[in-house]
Amino acid sequence: MFHFSPQLVAGPIERAKNLLPQFFRKVYFDYIRVTDGLKLMLWGMFKKIVIADNLAKYVNLVYNDVHAYTGLPLIIATIFFAFQIYCDFSGYSDIAIGASQVMGFKLMDNFKRPYYSKSIAEFWKRWHISLSSWFRDYLYITLGGNRVSISRLHFNLFITFLVSGLWHGANWTFVIWGALHAFYIIFALFSKGIRERIVAFIKIRRLPTLNKYSQVLTTFSLVSFAWIFFRSNNVSDAFYVVGNLFNWQGFTDFSYIRASLFLASPYIFIVSVVGIIFLEFVHYIQRQGSIRHMMSNKPVYLRFFVYYVLLFSILLFGNFTSQEFIYFQF
């Protein structure tokens, strides 16, 4: 039996019509293809081992005992988990896509800077693209898609996201997570006219940069709020986090703030924050296209300096404890 090792159930979930013909094609060594694949694998390992696995230290400490915390630690852990699951899952996808490329196979992109989305609908066009497009093609469109009445459209969206939640596991936390995303999109459709009038009234479109990043921040906040249910061990824990997220008691106490930031350790917090800043710096550069292709035009000393920085960052700051990929559990 043939086993295509770079691609497991976590994704990218490639379509048979795209993948199967590649098994019957002769593959020859190509230096650019191989090195591009290795670069993507290196970037994926950096995201997983340096960023995601260090963030996991803080997130696990809080979410495995949420009733011991209120306020700031819950906020930090929730934001950290948003970046942890992204770096964990997109890191895995990058490694799988890069390894496939080294061997001569081309897999679809699975993430396109999802936290730069200006709406929840756009988020799902950028997040786990292989799975979200599968649900769109084989469930949402089969139910009738958007060529139906408004009430039926809302039903189709709700069922699609509900099934998406159940796909992750038979747990009410995943069901609520899926239902929340359905509510976000249905509410956005329902309130579109009202929101456009509000935007016109406050004239925020005169400040396009502010308008864009306010939408990005709003979308990220909504997605992060939904991640509370995805990460929580049970529904009771999730509602505790929601109820105590903005418990401001102690927010003016410096010792409370310091203890909240360095809950896991100062080292973990600093490495995690610097890792997120570096990640977003790379994402900012990538708005013009793939950074791998940009780097190929740079002088050789600069390229290898970047490669060695990533490699030694993994060796020096990576968390090499047994932290498996999050999506391996689904």
pLDDT tens figures, 182-191: 999 999 999 8
Mean pLDDT of 304-326: 88
> CA-CA distance, 181 to 203, in Å (whole number)?
28
Peptide bond into 12 cis (omega under 30): yes
- For Cα atoms 168, 170, 172, give the angle at the middle one, nearest 5 degrees: 95
pLDDT at 8: 55
Give percent above pLDDT 90 in the chain. 64
pLDDT tens figures, 264-287: 899 999 999 999 999 999 999 888
Compare 246 and 10 and report the one with higher pLDDT. Answer: 246
Q: Residues with catalytic annotation?
A: 168
pLDDT tens figures, 37-94: 999 999 999 999 999 999 999 999 999 999 999 989 999 999 999 999 999 999 999 9
Instruction: Compute the mean pLDDT over every residue in the chain, rounded to the nearest whole number.
Output: 89
> CA-CA distance, 151 to 126, in Å (whole number)?
26
Sign of the torsion angle spanned by Cα atoms 128, 133, 138, 144 = positive
> CA-CA distance, 288 to 20, in Å (whole number)?
32
Q: Which one-letter DSSP state was computed for residue 203?
A: T
Q: Which residues contact 129 (CB under 8 A, 6 or more apart)?
A: 12, 108, 109, 110, 111, 112
Whether the per-residue pLDDT at 2 is higher than 60: the answer is no
Cβ neighbour number for residue 171 with a 10 Å cutoff: 17
pLDDT at 5: 56
Peptide bond into 73 cis (omega under 30): no
pLDDT tens figures, 166-208: 988 878 999 999 999 999 999 999 988 898 888 888 888 888 8
Mean pLDDT of 132-161: 92
- For Cα atoms 261, 266, 268, give the angle at the middle one, nearest 5 degrees: 95
Compare 146 and 232 and report the one with higher pLDDT. Answer: 232
pLDDT tens figures, 20-30: 888 888 888 89
Nearest to 39 by CA among 125, 122, 99: 99
Q: Structure tokens of 143? A: 């139910």
pLDDT at 179: 96
> CA-CA distance, 261 to 269, in Å (whole number)?
7
> CA-CA distance, 258 to 269, in Å (whole number)?
11
pLDDT tens figures, 211-240: 899 999 999 999 999 999 999 999 999 999
- For Cα atoms 26, 131, 96, give the angle at the middle one, nearest 5 degrees: 45
pLDDT band at 1 (very low <50, low <70, confident <90, very high): very low
Q: Which residues contact 104 (CB under 8 A, 6 or more apart)?
A: 22, 25, 27, 28, 30, 33
pLDDT band at 3 (very low <50, low <70, confident <90, very high): low
Cβ distance 172 to 166 under 8 Å?
no
Q: Which residues of 242-272 are buried (b: 16+ CB within 10 A; e: fewer)?
A: eebeeeeeeeeeeeeeeebbebbeeebbebb
> CA-CA distance, 307 to 173, in Å (whole number)?
40
pLDDT at 92: 92
